[in-house]
Amino acid sequence: MNNRAEVRINLKALAHNILHAKGDSKADFLAVVKANAYGHGLIPVAEVALSSGATWLGTALLEEAIELRTAGITAPIIAWLTPPGEDFKRAIELNIDLSVPSVSLLNEISSASQKLGKRARVHIEVDTGMTRGGLLDEWDQFLKLLPNAHVEVVGFWTHFARADEPLSDYTQIQVNSFEAKLIELQSAGISPQFIHYANSAASLLRIGANQNILRVGIAMYGLSPDLGFMGTSAGLGLKPVMSVAAKLHLVKKVPAGSPVGYGGTAITEKDTIFGVVPMGYADGIPRNATSATGVTHNGTRAPIIGRVSMDQFVVDLGPESTAQAGDEVMVISESGYNADDWAIASSTINYEIVTRIAARVPRISV
């Protein structure tokens, strides 16, 4: 290991997760690669996903989709978070599908299409109960304007709010709302080719007969959509794709009664050995992480002690440790502290743990 820290991406695990999440479904598989592929590396993940059975790619931002096209990727791509004023002409030129959640965006994309002389490929997003993105109060007005818009409607979609809660009936309520709106759309003479609403949780739970695209994000990276309701990644048959390694910057003996870090928020209870890990909140390590997480050295767990700093944090290696400066420790690993452990110790979710690992930490494919 030549770096002070590095993110290791297991591409075989990525391929496994795609096949597992798809199962025997005949639907297309849309690999969600937004946010630098959930922190895993946009281009390498996209390429492996496509070679492993994915037929679509999905991004939140238009610039992410453009980056994929610039890298030579020709597969269908949809970008679904495009505020007014985006470069829709460029998107249309590059055959990037766009999501339309409002009348104003429909008009803007339609105008760009007319100026270019090429119809934009759009997916209509409806709000069925997430109460976030998608058409809601403008639905009737939208239906009246849509037939005259200079766009090609190729998709119709929504997003689930509670698909990771198998015992909740809310997902079925959303499905019912979605299907009612689909009927209204078809009655207006518009029949999209692609119908989609299944996220990772819905795909793993096999929810969704009336659809032909599965949109899989977190499960593709080997992480459970929800520990409480769906259980661990291993229990779901998933393999974590990301691990994070670092070198110990410093190892030293410290006496009992030593205050540690900013504010002296921790005090050693006995003589012990500390290790300084050269990663901090500038690298994506949560500042509020507790001693419920840390690193492993040769398979032995060493918990965090004191506050995480911008570029470093301290771990208690224990009084019998034989660790030396320069030794490798695992910050995130399947057999040590995993992304779920870090999430619990930081009062957040595994999504945030992996996506927040900073770009200054190199990604290495293994």
Q: Which long-range contacts (CB under 8 A, 24 or more apart) does 346-353 make?
A: 346/286, 346/288, 346/289, 346/290, 346/293, 347/288, 348/286, 350/218, 350/223, 350/224, 350/227, 351/38, 351/218, 351/223, 353/284, 353/286
Reply yes or no on whether 170 is catalytic: no
- Active-site entry in 12, 115, 144, 262: 262
Reply yes or no on whether 262 is catalytic: yes
Buried b / exposed e along 173-208 (16+ C-beta atoms within 10 A): ebbeebeebbeebeeeeeebebbbbbbbbbbbbebb
Radius of gyration of the chain (CA): 23
Tell me how far apart the alpha carbons of residues 309 and 298 are, in angstroms, rounded to a whole number.
Answer: 24
**What's 53's DSSP letter?**
T
Helix (H) or strand (E) holding 218: none
Question: Per DSSP, what are the bridge partners of residue 125?
Answer: 157
- Active-site entry in 34, 181, 239, 247: 34
- Which residues, other chains included, contact 123 with Cβ-Cβ below 8 Å and sequence gap of 6+? 78, 80, 97, 98, 99, 100, 153, 154, 155, 156, 157, 192, 194, 196
Tell me how far apart the alpha carbons of residues 108 and 104 are, in angstroms, rounded to a whole number.
Answer: 6
- Which residues, other chains included, contact 253 with Cβ-Cβ below 8 Å and sequence gap of 6+? 271, 272, 273, 274
The residues that are catalytic are: 34, 262
